[in-house]
Structure 1
Amino acid sequence: MSITLDQRMAQTGTRFLIFPQPRYLPFFEEPEVVYVSVPPQEIQPGPADDRMYVVDAVNKQPYSFFSQPPYRGPANPPIMPGPDGHFDHLDVNNREFSCATMYATVRRVLDIWEDYFGRRIEWHFRLNYQRLELIPLITWDNAQSGYGFLEFGYGRTPAGGIDRTRPYCQNFDVLAHELGHSIIFAEVGTPNINANTDEYGGFHESAGDLVAMISSLHFNKLVERLLENTKGNLFTTNELNRIGELSENRQIRELFNYEKMSTVSQEPHELSLPLTGAIFDVFVEVFQRELVQAGLISEELARRSFHAPDENEDDDAIQAEFTTAYSGKEEQFKDALFRARDYLGAVLAEAWNQLSANNLTYARVGLQLMNSDVTISGGEYQNVIRDCFAWREISLPANSVAFQIRRLDDCGLMSYH
């Protein structure tokens, strides 16, 4: 989302409160005020609009193959806006806040990605349902997205029970990830039954994680915390690359990882890691190039900071150099991060718009990213994408027809004697 768009939304949009990261994590105990694109006069009680609506269901069982939207059972009254038409007045400790923040999170993530696509994202379920149904709180230790709905329960206690202090509907990363699945279904589609691949499943999970990462970078509090902790050295474990954080030391997946195609199974979540890691590496490389071009770090420091875990680099010395470079240049580092964020969002949107779900492979994803880079940057990052994907062992299979050698005779053409 461009900074100018966010400024316009602050003038005409509706205010909500969202926790950038789970509120039980240090530094994120207080929510951040955000705006969604829908004006106050167009948001209905619920909250609801023309794209989605919240139902605070009572005693509901999770949807299954045998039950689908719309929910028609008992429900609490819809949440009303404040006297000024906004929803930032709600007590964060009340159930009403969970309803409002779930709507705000989904609406804001949709706003962000429609900005990157440059157009409206149509729901893949629109043949059957006009709007996305949002169910914020059911008695369940899980969450799920499905055809026309998102419904969320609670996290788990260390003993395995339901932890009502940790509703998933307040976890921005988890909600953004699930909406990412809907975006991929809408833009890339679903494969024919005989054209499905393991990598399509991994791609779906990777895309959900990337949607969450890029969307989270639209919170000033998170960006400032990220840069203050890392000083711009993003090839480290930090707030940004832990998706679906469950505690200070537990998360669903890490974007920053060292997995390659040879080190993972075909299970979709595990298989997603090399693709996600490759694209995260591209993002950090773009960020560092922005820093180099702005004269904030040296090319030599950028090169040394990008290394595998078994390479002999002095991490403490690298961090010290980033710390020195960052001091007094905080705003310049922040601007460079925003430029890298918006580059990646635009490139992914362009690539997803062109991809086909049938026979999808990570190699095709990489090739389409390179095509999209030409459109977005004029091809500035071709080598970066190529190198990051190669390190993850993402390439065409050895038996691909693309490797077939074709001689003149094979093409039905004969040379003159």
Structure 2
Amino acid sequence: MSLELDRRLAEVGTRFRIFPQPRFLQKADGSGPLFAEPEQVTVSVEPEAMRPGPGDDRMFVIDAIGKLPYNNFFRPPFRGNRRPAVQPGPDGHFDHLDPASREFSAATMYATVRRVLDIWEDYFGRTIQWHFESDFARLELIPLIEWNNAQSGYGFLEFGYGSKPNGTIDHERPFCENFDVLAHELGHSIIFAEVGVPANPRDEAIDYGGMHESAGDLVAIVASLHFHSVVDLLLDSTKGNLLTINGLDRVGELSDSREIRVAFNSRRMSDVGEEPHDRSLPLTGAIFDTMVEVFQQDLVAKKLISEDLRNRSTNLPGTSQDLVEIQAEFTAAYTGNEAAFKDSLLRARDYLGRLLAVTWGTIKPDFLTYHGILRALLAADREITGGENVQLIRACFAWREIAPVPTSLMLRQHTITNCGFSVGRGPTVAGDTAAFDPQIPAPRADGVTSALPRL
């Protein structure tokens, strides 16, 4: 599991530096950048196998010159002019690059995508084969084009820049350095590879679209929790109190990114429509709630918090005084036990990563429903833990109102007569004097005799 991933890669992998969140984010008190320096990460590719670009056998960077965005008529591979490939340092690593340089941006894009793929292949326990493998062996990464947008597509990721208030390109905000955006887009590729796409033309794919956006967010959230700085800041901001309004407010200090913020939401199915991003929120919330419940369950098992505190922080009392009291109790429990809280959160993170990997590896795309995803999650938990968390998962999804739709055939009742059996209140046909007995074959309306099974 991923608690061991970094220890394994540190001995064999290639080093890079990346920012865990955009460098333009400021601390809540305005005293400076939230993440002033990039952090070192190690990807699974050995320095000897790394190619200039950077690149490897799964993906490669092209710093294109004068490139227009891909569209339906202009697709990979890119054959135009490009800047020289970024070279490793004398030791074969890329952690020497100046964060102010264009080369750093190009290397960051590769390192982020490679890192996120490493994390999720670790959870899957196998290689994730690209959904475009029939046409391309490697994912094409284009980091910096003159465009105030970014996109993922069949065989490529290409990123531009954010926008200024007047709508022009903001060159201070390259999307290729935004960990959450890159991870989210790679999440779509993982779902295309592992789940596929609906093939039935009658399928409106409403829940499939919501699942896709939710999966992109969850891929990014779980991956971002592999930065110790992100985990430390989250816990320091909330003291482990992740399910109350206090937690919702404080996580806003952590990041302006969509992926981090959408996890902390209170949306239910009755609150959302059919637009995929909107519809994704209850599913993302239910799955994130599951991770937090597992986290707090471990805190109770370690006697770091009481069962009473856990229950009160999950089932909000609804008064500001209660919330203040809950936060004070979490703060007291967290103080002096920071390492133990962090260990519990990392274990919950890895449980969630494995739970999602097993689930995504089993669900089918046609006529996909959130209720079907819930059942797949329950089956995944039974595979991983023997079913330790099934009741907890059910509760998180019930609160989000994720259940079979009212018109689902799953909710149809089947009486004995619906099933073609006679209930035998007297003779069923002329001359038949047999009383109803589940062991006696009963004539059906079509004249066929069928034994009624025991109920």
TM-score by length of 1: 0.95
Indicate if the aligned counterparts of 1:46 and 1:79 stay in contact, CA closer than 8 A.
yes
Code of the aligned partner of 1:173: D
Cα distance, 1:355–1:342 mapped onto 2, change above 3 Å: same
**Bigger Cα displacement from structure 2, 403-412 vs 99-108:** 403-412
**Bigger Cα displacement from structure 2, 36-45 vs 227-236:** 227-236
The Cα offsets for residues 11-41 of structure 1, whole Å up to 9 and x where unpaired, read as 0000000101111223311111000000000
Indicate if the aligned counterparts of 1:209 and 1:243 stay in contact, CA closer than 8 A.
no
Match among 381, 384, 399 for residue 376 of structure 1: 384
Cα distance, 1:242–1:360 mapped onto 2, change above 3 Å: farther
- Cα separation, 2, equivalents of 1:229 and 1:7: 27
Query: Counterpart of 2:229?
Result: 221
Gaps of 5+ in 1: none
Q: SS of 1:185's equivalent? A: helix
- Identical positions, percent: 58
Query: Counterpart of 1:245?
Result: 256
Indicate if the aligned counterparts of 2:238 and 2:251 stay in contact, CA closer than 8 A.
no
Indicate if the aligned counterparts of 1:198 and 1:266 stay in contact, CA closer than 8 A.
yes
Indicate if the aligned counterparts of 1:354 and 1:368 stay in contact, CA closer than 8 A.
yes
Q: How does 1:276-355 map to 2 (within 5 A)?
A: 276-307=284-315, 314-355=322-363
Cα distance, 1:137–1:155 mapped onto 2, change above 3 Å: same
1:392 aligns to 2:403 (yes or no): no
Code of the aligned partner of 1:5: L
Code of the aligned partner of 1:115: D
- Cα separation, 2, equivalents of 1:365 and 1:312: 35
Indicate if the aligned counterparts of 1:181 and 1:208 stay in contact, CA closer than 8 A.
yes
Q: SS of 1:254's equivalent? A: helix
Residue 312 of structure 1: CA displacement?
Answer: 6.7
Q: How does 1:68-79 map to 2 (within 5 A)?
A: 68-79=75-86
The Cα offsets for residues 19-68 of structure 1, whole Å up to 9 and x where unpaired, read as 01111223311111000000000010000100000000111111111111
- Cα separation, 2, equivalents of 1:105 and 1:123: 17
Indicate if the aligned counterparts of 2:217 and 2:259 stay in contact, CA closer than 8 A.
no
Query: Counterpart of 1:20?
Result: 20
- Cα separation, 2, equivalents of 1:310 and 1:255: 21
Match among 153, 165, 175 for residue 160 of structure 2: 153
Q: SS of 1:354's equivalent? A: coil
Query: Counterpart of 1:5?
Result: 5
The Cα offsets for residues 205-255 of structure 1, whole Å up to 9 and x where unpaired, read as 000000000000111111111111111111213786899835xxx889521
Residue 331 of structure 1: CA displacement?
Answer: 0.7
- Cα separation, 1, equivalents of 2:342 and 2:167: 40
- Cα separation, 2, equivalents of 1:387 and 1:52: 41
Q: SS of 1:108's equivalent? A: helix
Query: Counterpart of 2:30?
Result: none
Query: Counterpart of 1:177?
Result: 184
- Cα separation, 1, equivalents of 2:259 and 2:130: 29
Indicate if the aligned counterparts of 2:317 and 2:323 stay in contact, CA closer than 8 A.
no
Query: Counterpart of 1:232?
Result: 240
Residue 414 of structure 1: CA displacement?
Answer: 4.8
Indicate if the aligned counterparts of 1:286 and 1:340 stay in contact, CA closer than 8 A.
yes
Code of the aligned partner of 1:148: G
Cα distance, 1:90–1:309 mapped onto 2, change above 3 Å: farther
RMSD (CA atoms): 1.9
Indicate if the aligned counterparts of 1:264 and 1:271 stay in contact, CA closer than 8 A.
yes
Query: Counterpart of 1:269?
Result: 277
- Cα separation, 1, equivalents of 2:271 and 2:100: 43
Gaps of 5+ in 2: 26-32, 424-434, 437-455
Match among 80, 88, 92 for residue 99 of structure 2: 92
1:164 aligns to 2:175 (yes or no): no
Q: Which has the higher contact order (CA 8 A, sep 6+)?
A: 1
1:203 aligns to 2:222 (yes or no): no
Cα distance, 1:19–1:390 mapped onto 2, change above 3 Å: same
Query: Counterpart of 2:149?
Result: 142
Q: SS of 1:337's equivalent? A: helix
Code of the aligned partner of 1:232: G
Code of the aligned partner of 1:383: Q
Residue 367 of structure 1: CA displacement?
Answer: 1.0
The Cα offsets for residues 285-321 of structure 1, whole Å up to 9 and x where unpaired, read as 1110011111111111111112459567621111111
Residue 278 of structure 1: CA displacement?
Answer: 0.9
- Cα separation, 2, equivalents of 1:37 and 1:251: 25
Residue 154 of structure 1: CA displacement?
Answer: 0.7
1:33 aligns to 2:44 (yes or no): no
Count of equivalent residues: 414
Indicate if the aligned counterparts of 1:373 and 1:379 stay in contact, CA closer than 8 A.
yes
Cα distance, 1:80–1:296 mapped onto 2, change above 3 Å: same
Residue 94 of structure 1: CA displacement?
Answer: 0.4
Indicate if the aligned counterparts of 1:243 and 1:255 stay in contact, CA closer than 8 A.
no
Residue 194 of structure 1: CA displacement?
Answer: 2.5
- Cα separation, 2, equivalents of 1:251 and 1:224: 18
Indicate if the aligned counterparts of 2:186 and 2:216 stay in contact, CA closer than 8 A.
yes
1:104 aligns to 2:115 (yes or no): no
Indicate if the aligned counterparts of 1:171 and 1:244 stay in contact, CA closer than 8 A.
no
- Cα separation, 2, equivalents of 1:5 and 1:352: 21
Code of the aligned partner of 1:345: G
Code of the aligned partner of 1:97: F
Indicate if the aligned counterparts of 1:230 and 1:238 stay in contact, CA closer than 8 A.
no
Indicate if the aligned counterparts of 1:45 and 1:78 stay in contact, CA closer than 8 A.
yes
- Cα separation, 1, equivalents of 2:402 and 2:87: 50
